[in-house]
């Protein structure tokens, strides 16, 4: 059991009121709120330490560098990577996946080679592969999903061919809440000698991730979805791949020696960190990981799963409720039919429902959730999405349910 009232005090923003209602923040899949320890660490760094990392002999630069590299070690330990050389700081999941698509794609794909993705990917795990397709002429194969919102694991094995170069798959769907069996998928891919990239944007905040146990080749996540700041994310990659991939961007930090004729590149992970990194955000991310570690990822997972189950049960009592997907963890996507007519009646537009919930102080996300192909598969334009974090309570779920019911009756 989490001490929710104590935990909520760590997040100053949760005490806000919105339109004279207590804020009920259920948009955690988009971004999470930040505990005071993260905010304080970043403020303190700017107030007392700030200097550019890696390049200075002076005291502050060395202290900032130490904090930055300790943050890398905190990330390594959190996802149980073998080495900090395999932890690359990026701006977020999007940049991490683009980095792999650009550099792995450059080194290891030719025209006609294939990359497998799935029917439930976020745009950030679709479009980078399409950019590679435009550049190199690769073929993108898509593993379909079932009507229950799960990957069709009967079809997946049939998608591999001798031309398959990579499989890129989300760990947890940001729309359906489906937790994909990524360990099995990685084993299957490896049996075909195909490396795997896991999009962990929606898993790292909710469950323990061990990249060595998973044996994934690449793993991407965003700091801001796991109680850290915006502007920082992580790419884990196995050294065997990173060593053979060309740099992503050129500039300071990623070089060993530069002449106008020729440049040699820095060692890992700096080869992939051109320019001044957001070292203060890296510190903030590390403090966020300390925060969830102190609470315990298994405690967080148990709380969020129980809350998700409770929310599904309560929401199912609302006439006209349509759920999309399985909601294994922390995410519920839904639409509601108008009025008392129940099923068969036309759906309240997700934007209307979200806007009216907002007037009651309830923050949810509406729309396609950056997963337009998935919306297409579901035959809808968008959903309302409630997504939970460690600080959410049953009372907030009750407020959501009452809010939906109130809005429903207005239509
Ligand atoms: N992948 C998934 C599954 C996501 O939910 C998101 C964000 O919503 C992303 C990738 C992109 O994350 P970011 O915008 O932090 O790069």
pLDDT digits (tens, 9 = 90+) for 287-331: 999 999 999 999 999 999 999 999 999 999 999 999 999 889 899
Tokens of 201: 């944007």
Whole-number pLDDT of residue 56? 83
Rounded to an integer, what distance in angstroms lies between the CA atom of residue 257 and that of residue 270?
13
What is the whole-number distance in angstroms between the Cα of residue 136 and the centre of ligand 1?
25
Contact 297, 387 (CB under 8 A): no
> Looking up tokens 């709380």, which residue turns up?
303
Q: Which ligand 1 atom is the nearest neighbour of the CA of 96?
A: 16
**Which active-site residues does the annotation give?**
370
What is the whole-number distance in angstroms between the Cα of residue 99 and the centre of ligand 1?
14
What is the whole-number distance in angstroms between the Cα of residue 124 and the centre of ligand 1?
7
Determine whether the shortest distance from the Cβ of 174 to ligand 1 is under 6 A: yes
Whole-number pLDDT of residue 341? 53
Q: How do 263-265 and 196-199 pair as beta strands?
A: unpaired
Residues of the chain with CATH 3.90.1150.10: 4-26+296-410
Determine whether the shortest distance from the Cβ of 202 to ligand 1 is under 6 A: yes
Whole-number pLDDT of residue 237? 98
Q: What angle do CA 246, 252, 254 make, to 5 degrees?
A: 30
Q: Which ligand 1 atom is the nearest neighbour of the CA of 173?
A: 3
Q: What is the DSSP letter of 101?
A: H
Q: Whose CA is nearest to atom 4 of ligand 1?
A: 201
| Closest among 175, 281, 276, 171 to 234, alpha carbons compared | 281
Residues of the chain with CATH 3.40.640.10: 49-294
Determine whether the shortest distance from the Cβ of 124 to ligand 1 is under 6 A: yes
Residue 100 has phi, psi (to 5 degrees) of -65, -45
Whole-number pLDDT of residue 205? 98
ω into 269 cis (within 30 of 0): yes
Determine whether the shortest distance from the Cβ of 121 to ligand 1 is under 6 A: no
Ligand 1 site-directed mutation target among 124, 224, 369, most atoms within 8 Å of CB: 124
Q: Whose CA is nearest to atom 8 of ligand 1?
A: 30
Question: Any idea how long the chain is?
Answer: 411
CATH tag, 4-26+296-410:
3.90.1150.10
Q: Which ligand 1 atom is the nearest neighbour of the CA of 30?
A: 8
> Looking up tokens 């349509």, which residue turns up?
322
Determine whether the shortest distance from the Cβ of 366 to ligand 1 is under 6 A: no
Answer positive or negative: Cα dihedral of 44, 45, 47, 49: positive
Tokens of 219: 């793993």
Ligand 1 site-directed mutation target among 93, 100, 168, most atoms within 8 Å of CB: 93
Q: Which ligand 1 atom is the nearest neighbour of the CA of 93?
A: 16
Whole-number pLDDT of residue 376? 95
Q: What is the DSSP letter of 47?
A: I
What is the whole-number distance in angstroms between the Cα of residue 121 and the centre of ligand 1?
10
What is the whole-number distance in angstroms between the Cα of residue 94 and the centre of ligand 1?
6
CATH tag, 49-294:
3.40.640.10
Whole-number pLDDT of residue 55? 79
Determine whether the shortest distance from the Cβ of 92 to ligand 1 is under 6 A: yes
Tell me the three state secondary structure of residue 170: strand
pLDDT below 50 — which residues of the chain?
A: 342
What is the whole-number distance in angstroms between the Cα of residue 336 and the centre of ligand 1?
26
Burial environment of residue 230 by CB neighbours within 10 A (0 to 12, 13 to 18, 19 or more)? middle
Ligand 1 site-directed mutation target among 206, 222, 230, 233, most atoms within 8 Å of CB: 222
Q: Which ligand 1 atom is the nearest neighbour of the CA of 224?
A: 15
- Label residue 233 left, alpha or beta by phi (over 0 means left) and psi (-120 to 50 means alpha): beta
Determine whether the shortest distance from the Cβ of 28 to ligand 1 is under 6 A: no
DSSP-assigned states of every residue in 10-25: T-GGGG-EETTEE-EE
What is the whole-number distance in angstroms between the Cα of residue 183 and the centre of ligand 1?
21
Q: Whose CA is nearest to atom 12 of ligand 1?
A: 93
- Tell me the C-alpha to C-alpha distance, in Å, between residue 311 and each of 21, 244, 340, 369: 20, 47, 21, 20
């Amino acid at each position: 059991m989490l001490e929710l009232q104590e935990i909520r005090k760590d997040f100053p923003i949760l005490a806000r009121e919105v339109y004279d209602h207590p804020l009920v923040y259920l948009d955690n899949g988009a971004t999470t709120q930040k505990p005071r320890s993260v905010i304080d660490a970043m403020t303190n760094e700017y107030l007392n330490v700030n200097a550019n990392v890696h390049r200075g002999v002076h005291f502050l630069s060395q202290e900032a560098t130490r904090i930055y590299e300790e943050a890398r070690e905190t990330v390594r330990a959190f996802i149980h990577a073998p080495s900090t050389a395999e932890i690359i700081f990026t701006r977020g999941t999007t940049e991490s996946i683009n980095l792999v698509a650009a550099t792995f794609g450059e080194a290891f794909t030719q025209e006609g080679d294939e990359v497998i993705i799935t029917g439930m990917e976020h745009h950030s795990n679709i479009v980078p592969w399409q950019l590679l397709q435009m550049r190199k002429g690769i073929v993108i194969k898509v593993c379909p999903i079932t009507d229950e919102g799960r990957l069709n694991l009967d079809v997946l094995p049939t998608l591999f061919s001798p031309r398959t170069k990579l499989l890129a798959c989300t760990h947890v769907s940001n729309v359906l809440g489906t937790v994909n069996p990524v360990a099995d998928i990685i084993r299957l891919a490896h049996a075909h000698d195909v490396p795997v990239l896991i999009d962990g944007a929606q898993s790292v905040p909710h469950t323990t991730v061990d990249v060595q146990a998973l044996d994934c080749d690449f793993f991407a996540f965003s700091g801001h979805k796991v109680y850290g700041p915006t502007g920082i994310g992580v790419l884990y990659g196995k050294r065997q791949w990173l060593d053979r991939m060309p740099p992503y961007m050129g500039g300071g930090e990623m070089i060993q020696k530069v002449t106008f004729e020729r440049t040699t590149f820095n060692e890992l992970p700096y080869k992939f960190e051109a320019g001044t990194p957001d070292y203060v955000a890296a510190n903030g991310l590390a403090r966020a990981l300390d925060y969830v570690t102190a609470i315990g990822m298994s405690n967080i997972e148990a709380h969020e799963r129980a809350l998700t189950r409770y929310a599904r049960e309560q929401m199912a009592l609302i006439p006209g409720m349509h759920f999309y997907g399985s909601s294994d963890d922390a995410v519920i996507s839904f639409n509601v039919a108008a009025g008392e007519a129940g099923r068969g009646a036309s759906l309240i537009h997700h934007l209307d429902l979200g806007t009216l919930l907002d007037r009651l102080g309830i923050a949810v996300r509406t729309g396609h959730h950056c997963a337009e192909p998935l919306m297409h598969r579901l035959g809808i334009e968008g959903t309302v999405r409630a997504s939970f974090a460690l600080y959410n309570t049953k009372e907030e779920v009750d407020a959501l349910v009452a809010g939906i019911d109130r809005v429903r009756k207005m239509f």
